[in-house]
Amino acid sequence: MNLYVYTLRRLLYIIPVLLGVCAIVFFLFSVVSPDPTLIMLGKHASVQQMEELRRELGLDRPWFIQYLDIVKSAFTFDFGRSWSTKQEILTMIKQGAIPSLTLSLPAFILSFVISITISLFVAFYRGKILDKIAIFGCVSMMSISSLAYILFGQWFFGYKLGLFEISGYEYGFPDFVPYVILPGIIWIILGLGPDVRFYRTILLDEIYQDYVRTARAKGLGESLILFKHVLKNAMIPIITYLIIAIPFLILGALLLESFFSIPGLGAMTLNAVNASDFPVIKAMTILTSVAYIIFSVITDICYTLVDPRVRLK
Amino acid sequence: MATEQQSKSLWQHAWETLLRDKMAVVAMIIIFVYMAMAVLSATGIIVSDWAAEVGPSYGAPSLDHWFGLDMFGRSVLAKTIKGTEVAISVGFIASLLSLVIGVTLGSIAGYFGGRVDEFIVWFYTTFTSIPNIMLLVAITFISGKGLKAVILALGLTGWVSLCRLIRGEVIRHKDREYVHAASAIGGGNYRKLVKHILPNVTHIMIISFSLQFQIAIKSEVILSYLGLGVQGRPSWGIMIDDAKLELARGVWWQLGAATFAMALVVLAFNILGDALRDALDPKLKGK
Amino acid sequence: MSEEKLLEIRNLQVQFNTDRGPITAVKGVDLDVYKGKTLGIVGESGSGKSVTALSIMRLIPDPPGKIINGYIKFKGKNLLDMSLGDMRTIRGNKIAMIFQEPMTSLNPVFTVGNQIIEVLDLHQSHLSKEEKKNKAINMLDLVGIPAPEKRIKEYPHQLSGGMRQRVMIAMALACEPDILIADEPTTALDVTIQAQILELMNKLKEKLGMGIIFITHDLGVVAEMCDDVAVMYCGRIVEASDVSTVFKHPFHPYTKGLMESIPSFDSTEDETKARLKTIEGMVPSLFDLPKGCSFQDRCPEAIDECRGKKGPPLLEEQAPGHQAACFNPLK
* Cα–Cα dist B253/C287, whole Å: 54
* Chains in contact with A, where contact requires at least 3 CB pairs less than 8 Å apart: B, C
Report d(CA C312, CA B178) in Å as an integer. 42
User: Region C100-110: what's the mean pLDDT?
Assistant: 88
pLDDT at position C149, please? 92
Beta pairing partners, B141: none
The better pLDDT of the pair A149, B134 is held by: A149
- Measuring CA to CA, which residue among B99, B124, B110, B115 is closest to residue B170? B110
| Parallel, antiparallel or unpaired: strands C211-216 and C38-42 | parallel
Query: What's the pLDDT at C269?
Result: 52
Task: Specify which residues B260 forms β-bridges with.
Answer: none
Integer angstrom CA distances of residue A137 from A122, A142, A149, A207: 12, 9, 15, 22
- Chains with at least 3 CB pairs less than 8 angstroms from chain B: A
pLDDT confidence of B217, banded at 50, 70, 90?
very high
Across the range C242-252, mean pLDDT stands at 88
Residue B187 has pLDDT above 70, yes or no: no
**SS3 of chain A:** CCHHHHHHHHHHCHHHHHHHHHHHHHHHHHHCCCCHHHHHHCCCCCHHHHHHHHHHHCCCCCHHHHHHHHHHHHHHCCCCECCCCCCEHHHHHHHHHHHHHHHHHHHHHHHHHHHHHHHHHHHHCCCCHHHHHHHHHHHHHHHCCHHHHHHHHHHHHHHHCCCCCCCCCCCCCCCCHHHHHHHHHHHHHHHHHHHHHHHHHHHHHHHCCHHHHHHHHCCCCHHHHHHHHHHHHHHHHHHHHHHHHHHHHHCCCHHHHHHCCCCCHHHHHHHHHHCCCHHHHHHHHHHHHHHHHHHHHHHHHHHHHHCCCCCCC
d(CA B153, CA B229) in angstroms, rounded, equals: 10
> Cβ–Cβ of A220/C122 closer than 8 Å?
yes
- Mean pLDDT of the region B102-111: 93
Measured distance CA(C106)–CA(A241) in Å, rounded: 25
Residue B287: pLDDT band (50, 70, 90) is very low
**Minimal Cα distance from A136: which residue of B?**
B271
A268–chain B nearest CA distance, Å: 13
Residue B286 has what pLDDT?
A: 38
Whether C157 and A214 lie within 8 Å, measured CB to CB: no
Pick from A55-59, C27-31, C184-188, C205-209 the range whose average pLDDT is largest: C27-31
Q: Are C48 and C29 in contact (CB under 8 A)?
A: yes
- C212 strand-pairing partners: C38, C180
Q: In the prediction, which pLDDT does A17 show? A: 94
CA–CA distance, C145 with B6 (Å, rounded to integer): 49
Q: How far is CA A295 from CA A105, A241, B129, in A?
A: 16, 11, 10
Q: Could you read off the pLDDT of B225-248 as tens digits, one per residue?
A: 888 888 888 899 889 888 888 888
Query: Is B237 in a helix, a strand, or coil?
Result: helix
The whole-number average pLDDT for the span C69-73 is: 92
- Structural domain boundaries of chain A? 3-76, 89-306
CA–CA separation, A22 and B126 (whole Å): 9
Least confident of A221-230, B12-21, C161-170: B12-21
Alpha-carbon torsion (A200, A201, A203, A209), positive or negative: positive
Q: In what order do the strands lie in the sheet with C77-78?
A: C21-34, C5-18, C65-74, C77-78
Instruction: Return the H-helix or E-strand segment holding B283.
Output: none
Average pLDDT, integer, range B184-210: 80
Residues of A in contact with B221 (CB under 8 A): 145, 147
pLDDT average, residue stretch B171-190: 72
3-state secondary structure of B45: coil
Per-residue pLDDT reduced to its tens digit, A213-253: 999 999 999 889 999 999 988 888 888 888 888 877 776 68
- Specify the range with the lowest mean pLDDT, choosing from A242-246, B69-73, B282-286, C44-48: B282-286
For A89-306, CATH number out of 1.10.3720.10, 3.90.850.10, 3.40.50.300, 3.40.190.170 equals 1.10.3720.10
Spatial distance between the Cα atoms of A196 and A135, rounded to a whole number of angstroms: 8
State yes or no: pLDDT of B46 exceeds 80. Answer: yes
Determine the residue among A126, A128, A205, A218 to mutate to test chain C binding: the one whose Cβ has the most chain C Cβ atoms within 10 Å. A218
Buried/exposed code over B166-199 (b: 16+ C-beta within 10 A; e: otherwise): bbebbbebbeeeebeebeeeebeeeebbeebbbe
Rounded to 5 degrees, φ, ψ at A60 are: -90, -5
Give the C-alpha distances (Å, rounded to integers) separating A256 from A104, A150, B132, C120. 10, 7, 17, 53
How far, in Å, CA of C51 to CA of C70, rounded? 14
DSSP H or E run through B134: helix B132-142
For A180, other C-beta atoms within 10 Å of its C-beta total 24
* C19 compared with C1, residue with greater pLDDT: C19
CA distances from A194 to A144, B138, B207 (A): 12, 26, 18
Chain C neighbors (3+ CB pairs < 8 Å) = A
8 A C-beta contact, residue C113 and residue C135: no
CA–CA min distance A199, chain B (Å): 10
Confidence check: pLDDT of C100 > 90: no
CB–CB contact C59 A220 (8 Å): no
d(Cα A152, Cα A158) in Å, to the nearest integer? Answer: 9
Neighbours of C125 (CB within 10 A): 8
Interface of A with B in 204-243 (CB under 8 A): 204-205
Whole-angstrom distance, CA of residue B187 vs CA of residue B170: 17
Percent of chain B with pLDDT over 70: 91
Question: Do A279 and A79 form a contact (C-beta atoms < 8 A)?
Answer: yes
DSSP state of B60: P
pLDDT band for C260, please (50, 70, 90 cuts): confident
Q: Which domains does chain B carry? A: 13-284 (1.10.3720.10)
Residues of A in contact with B87 (CB under 8 A): none
For chain A, how big is the Rg over CA atoms in Å? 24
Local confidence band at C330 (pLDDT 50, 70, 90 cut-offs): confident
Give ∠ CA A246-A248-A250 in degrees, rounded to 5. 90
Nearest Cα neighbor of A203 from A166, A237, A176, A160 is A237
pTM for this model (two decimals): 0.84
User: How far out from the chain centre does Cα C268 lie?
Assistant: 28
Do B247 and A151 make contact, defined as CB atoms within 8 angstroms? Answer: yes
Mean pLDDT confidence for B79-99: 94
Give every residue of chain A whose pLDDT is below 50, as ranges.
Answer: 311-313
Q: Are A182 and A253 in contact (CB under 8 A)?
A: no
* Residue B99: per-residue pLDDT: 96
Q: By CA distance, what is A309's nearest residue in C?
A: C157
Whole-number Å distance between alpha carbons of A213 and C3: 32
How far apart are alpha carbons A64 and B65 in whole angstroms?
60
Distance CA(A183)–CA(A107), nearest Å, equals: 9
Residues in C touching A232 (Cβ below 8 Å)? 107, 109-110
Distance from CA of A57 to the nearest CA of B (A): 19
* β-bridge mates for residue C241, sequence order: C229
- Contact present, B37 and B84 (Cβ < 8 Å): yes
CB contact under 8 A, A289 and B131: yes
Q: Scanning every residue of chain A, which has its alpha carbon at the shortest distance from the alpha carbon of B139?
A: A28
Contacts of C69 (CB under 8 A, 6+ apart): C11, C12, C13, C28
Which helix (H) or strand (E) element contains residue B175?
none
Which run of H or of E encompasses B90?
A: helix B76-112
Q: What does the alpha-carbon distance between residue A180 and residue A173 come to, in Å, rounded to a whole number?
A: 12
Share of residues in chain B with pLDDT > 90 (%): 40
CA dihedral B188, B191, B195, B200 (to 10 degrees): 70
Residue A308 with chain C: CB contacts under 8 Å: 108-109, 155, 157-158
Q: What is the ipTM of this complex?
A: 0.86
Determine the Cα–Cα distance for residues C67 and C128; give it in Å rounded to an integer: 39
Residue C63 preceded by cis peptide, ω within 30: yes
Contact B17, C19 (CB under 8 A): yes
Mean pLDDT of C257-283: 64
Provide the pLDDT for residue B7: 56
Nearest C-alpha of chain A: how many angstroms from B192?
Answer: 30
Strand C65-74, strand C77-78: pairing: antiparallel
Q: What is the spatial distance between Cα A97 and Cα A263, in angstroms, rounded to a whole number?
A: 9
Q: How far C115 CA lies from chain A's nearest CA (Å)?
A: 9
For residues B124 and B163, is the Cβ–Cβ distance under 8 A? yes
C-beta separation of C53 from C28 below 8 A: no
Element containing residue B67 per DSSP (H, E): none
Report how far residue A204's alpha carbon sits from residue C37's, in angstroms, rounded to the nearest whole number: 39
Strands C316-319, C322-324: parallel, antiparallel or unpaired by DSSP? Answer: antiparallel
pLDDT of B100: 95
The percentage of residues in chain C with a pLDDT greater than 90, rounded to a whole number, is 38
pLDDT band at B265 (very low <50, low <70, confident <90, very high): very high
Distances (CA, A) of C8 to C31, C76, C225, C241: 6, 8, 21, 15
